[in-house]
């Protein structure tokens, strides 16, 4: 049987993944779509934003392993075979990278860096009151792999930390809120809101005027989840009205963000090109190779995506 590597990344990046996978799995036949002679020979697919309409043509596919943590782009493929288990990337290196990005940008907002950058443009020498991290409350939407690592990092920096998830959690030192009924209480009194939710039918558009109106005036926003979480017009309006003080946006509904998008030029937006926590090819390939070896030996699959929940 063969393992198909199916991506829509550049040919250079795809070749890099192929080489790493072949080195990590010398006993396996890892192939690209263009090299495939018999589709029935494929029992496993390793994917990174694969083109739609291909996976369902593989009649002997036993499971799909994503190289990304988020699987929203995969799940929108209407032809994605329902019965084939889907496994997403869970990698402690990725979570550590996200925790670092969260800490970086929470600290930047906490220490007023965007405001001082705007002052510098005007050559304005003006000091603002310095608050302690323990005087700030940071709320994290999503308490999964990314959210928990980020919460722990922020606790270590002295911030008050809250998190919101679908099911109730109990995390030492973190105020845990769960479900729609708890959302209002979670948002109440935050200084900075960080989004680390997966994009699902339930979370789409959650960063909207309605949610912003439940935050204290002047809250900072960080979106490292997906572009589909933010209603762009509502983010701009909330910034213009001062309801949000600043937004750090790493993800967008359309990536790369088109040149004419007004988010580019907004003075209260820090715009990043989806770099909060990129997949680390070295550690990702080790994890994927381990998953595959375990499956070959025991027939056991790693933890699967819950299709009905969308993550
Ligand atoms: P997980 O699946 O581990 O965690 C998701 C969290 O969101 C869980 O706590 C879950 O609740 C919560 N959640 C899901 N739906 C809801 C809902 N309707 N209401 C409340 N809480 C909800 O995902 P990860 O932490 O690994 O990743 C999160 C997302 O981060 C990815 O899907 C991806 O979009 C994004 N990401 C972005 C990157 C970047 O570079 N910008 C890099 C990597 C990931 P519960 O625990 O109860 O299930
Ligand atoms: C991911 C990402 O989901 O890079 O892994 O956004």
pLDDT band at 51 (very low <50, low <70, confident <90, very high): very high
pLDDT given at position 294: 97
Average pLDDT over the chain reads 97
Residues 6+ apart with CB under 8 A from 104: none
The residue-averaged pLDDT of 240-264 equals 98
CA dist., res. 133 & res. 55, Å (int): 48
pLDDT given at position 258: 98
pLDDT given at position 228: 98
Q: Ligand 1 within 6 A of 108 CB?
A: no
The residue-averaged pLDDT of 206-223 equals 98
pLDDT given at position 108: 98
Q: Is 233 helix (H, G, I), strand (E, B) or coil?
A: helix
pLDDT given at position 200: 98
Torsion of CA 277, 104, 266, 72, to 10 degrees: 20
Please check whether residue 45 is in contact with residue 61, taking contact to mean a CB–CB distance below 8 angstroms: yes
Q: Ligand 2 within 6 A of 68 CB?
A: yes
Q: Give all strands (DSSP E) within 143-302, no chain letters.
A: 160-165, 174-178, 192-195, 219-223, 244-249, 269-271
Using a 10 angstrom Cβ sphere, with 0-12 exposed, 13-18 middle and 19 or more buried, the burial of residue 285 is buried
pLDDT band at 230 (very low <50, low <70, confident <90, very high): very high
The residue-averaged pLDDT of 79-96 equals 97
Residue nearest to atom 6 of ligand 2 (CA): 70
Of the listed ligands, the closest to the CA of 226 is 1
Please check whether residue 164 is in contact with residue 175, taking contact to mean a CB–CB distance below 8 angstroms: no
Q: Ligand 1 within 6 A of 248 CB?
A: no
How much distance in Å is there from the Cα of 159 to the middle of ligand 1?
A: 21
Q: Which atom of ligand 2 is nearest to the CA of 70?
A: 3
Question: Catalytic site residues?
Answer: 226, 274
pLDDT band at 84 (very low <50, low <70, confident <90, very high): very high
pLDDT given at position 276: 98
The residue-averaged pLDDT of 246-263 equals 98
pLDDT band at 76 (very low <50, low <70, confident <90, very high): very high
The residue-averaged pLDDT of 65-82 equals 96
Q: Which atom of ligand 2 is nearest to the CA of 251?
A: 6
pLDDT band at 55 (very low <50, low <70, confident <90, very high): very high
Q: Ligand 1 within 6 A of 142 CB?
A: yes
Q: What global pTM score does this model have? A: 0.97
The residue-averaged pLDDT of 126-136 equals 98
Q: Is 268 left (phi over 0), alpha (psi -120 to 50) or beta?
A: alpha
Of the listed ligands, the closest to the CA of 201 is 1
Q: Ligand 2 within 6 A of 97 CB?
A: no
pLDDT given at position 290: 98
- Six-digit token pair at 58? 């593989």
Q: Which atom of ligand 1 is nearest to the CA of 180?
A: 19
Q: Is 64 helix (H, G, I), strand (E, B) or coil?
A: strand
Question: Which domains does the chain possess?
Answer: 2-91+279-298 (3.40.50.720), 92-271 (3.40.50.720)
Q: Which of 48, 49, 69 to mutate to test the pocket of ligand 1 (most atoms within 8 A of CB)?
A: 69
């Amino acid at each position: 049987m063969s393992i198909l590597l199916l991506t829509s990344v550049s040919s250079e990046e795809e070749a890099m993944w192929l080489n790493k996978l072949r080195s990590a799995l010398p006993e396996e036949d890892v192939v690209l779509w263009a090299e495939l002679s018999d589709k029935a020979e494929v029992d496993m697919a390793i994917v990174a934003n694969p083109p739609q309409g291909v996976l369902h043509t593989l009649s002997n596919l036993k499971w799909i392993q994503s190289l990304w943590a988020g699987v929203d782009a995969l799940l929108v493929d209407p032809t994605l075979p329902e019965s084939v288990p889907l496994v997403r990337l869970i990698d402690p290196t990725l979570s550590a990278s996200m925790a670092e990005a969260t800490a970086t940008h929470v600290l930047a907002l906490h220490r007023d860096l965007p405001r001082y950058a705007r002052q510098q443009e005007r050559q304005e020498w003006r000091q603002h009151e310095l608050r302690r991290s323990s005087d700030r409350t940071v709320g994290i939407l999503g308490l999964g792999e990314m959210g928990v690592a980020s919460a722990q990092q922020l606790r270590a920096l002295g911030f008050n930390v809250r998190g919101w998830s679908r099911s109730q959690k109990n995390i030492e030192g973190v105020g845990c809120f769960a479900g729609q009924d708890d959302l209002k209480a979670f948002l109440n009194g935050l200084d900075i809101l960080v989004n680390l939710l997966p994009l699902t039918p339930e979370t789409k558009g959650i960063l909207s005027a309605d949610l912003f109106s439940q935050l204290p005036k002047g809250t900072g926003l960080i979106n490292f989840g997906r572009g589909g979480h933010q209603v762009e017009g509502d983010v701009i309006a909330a910034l213009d009205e001062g309801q949000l003080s600043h937004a750090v946006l790493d993800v967008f509904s359309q990536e790369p963000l088109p040149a004419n998008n007004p988010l580019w030029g907004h003075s209260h937006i820090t715009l990043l090109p989806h770099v909060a926590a990129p997949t680390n090819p070295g550690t990702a390939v080790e994890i994927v190779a381990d998953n595959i070896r375990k499956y070959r030996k025991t027939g056991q699959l790693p933890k699967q995506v819950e299709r009905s929940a969308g993550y």
